[in-house]
Structure 1
């Protein structure tokens, strides 16, 4: 019988977030004294958004390493099955302990990483969640078949999204633009966030996103008038 959501979160919720941050990334660091880049991304984001979760992550990682589940318990859903992130099964327990140690050292040293450009797919989506929904949902490769042009797609989002989400999107666009990236870096960023079409001519990514933010910012609240 699978665990109920509350029990899963209590025992494995933050562990699952840490593991998800490693999907598609190298699990090991060339320097054993440094956290792998994927864990650095997790630390960077979590320190600035949910610092209380770091100690939970360290505890859940260490507890899982100390008490690995049997195959039977995994099969009946009583334990969290660690996804394959490129580690031999025999290495998993020691690796989990090492990641817990990295998190513990970061907490004890009060080592808060400065804000920086996201470095992994997970970090892009963790930091810019609504922008990822917008770009991936309205500007996938199917956009030309669904809308007449980019402006029509933006209007559709504007007409269907909750005002609070649209406001969040505007804020995330401005946060992204505040990174001050080069055009090719913005292209990488929006691609990571799910955009599969070019911005409309003659816009760069930066100028197009600014026009999107300006358009959405004109959305007034509907009080039932």
Structure 2
């Protein structure tokens, strides 16, 4: 019987975060150098959840020490490591190597320097609400669902909780503060799920700034009009 979500997170939740960082990336970690994927995981996790590093190290070692058999995998009682491009015979040593790199980073305080995201996982992890906005409202189906980009933005604005809208505005300002080249902003919106071009005549960064401005205004709740008993 598959594990319930709480049990899964207790055993494999942070392990899954580490392995998910390798989606589309090479698992080319070496004893003297973590891979680009693991560096992205360390950079992001140090920034928002440094306590999770110890959890990741523990879960990686425990899984490597007690790899699941085929029966328990079939029953859903273990985490099946996704294909990361390594032969099965190397997975155990690779997991131990990841745990060693994470332990070294946590104990030495060696943190990857701040930078723009460098992997798909890191873009999605760093800008989750922006990924929801661009992937949900600006997919390739957007021209069939909305008259134009402004209509899609208004739909997001009127159907989304105000706290999430505020979070999106903050993420937009954070992304713009990275001061990337325009080609890198085009890459950023693609990594975050946007499948249509910005409206003319805007560049990707210019359109993101426009969206941040249009969503960033405070809308006070004045309450019911005078004399309205409701």
Q: TM-score, normalised by structure 2?
A: 0.94
Structure 1 3/224 Cα, relative in aligned 2: closer, same or farther at 3 Å? farther
Root-mean-square deviation (CA), in Å? 1.2
Range moving further from structure 2, 113-122 or 212-221: 212-221
- CA deviation vs aligned residue, 1:133-171 (integer Å, no higher than 9, x gap): 000111111111111111010000000010000000000
Q: Give the secondary structure class of the aligned counterpart of 1:98.
A: helix
Task: Tell me by how many angstroms 1:112 deviates.
Answer: 2.2
Task: Tell me by how many angstroms 1:223 deviates.
Answer: 7.1
The answer as to whether partners of 1:158 and 1:216 remain within 8 angstroms in 2 is: yes
Report how many residues are paired: 224
Residue 5 of structure 2 corresponds to residue 5 of structure 1: yes
Unaligned runs of 5+ in 1: none
The answer as to whether partners of 2:44 and 2:122 remain within 8 angstroms in 1 is: yes
Give the equivalent residue in structure 1 for 2:185.
Answer: 186
Residue 61 of structure 2 corresponds to residue 89 of structure 1: no
- CA deviation vs aligned residue, 1:89-139 (integer Å, no higher than 9, x gap): 100000000000000010111112232110000000000000000001111
The structure having more radius of gyration, on CA atoms, is: 2
Give the equivalent residue in structure 2 for 1:143.
Answer: 142
- CA deviation vs aligned residue, 1:181-216 (integer Å, no higher than 9, x gap): 000000000000001111111111111111101111
The answer as to whether partners of 1:163 and 1:219 remain within 8 angstroms in 2 is: no
Residue 58 of structure 2 corresponds to residue 59 of structure 1: yes
Aligned-partner Cα distance in 1 for 2:8–2:151:
42
Q: Spell out the pairing of 1:74-113 with structure 2 (5 A cutoff).
A: 74-113=73-112
Q: TM-score, normalised by structure 1?
A: 0.96
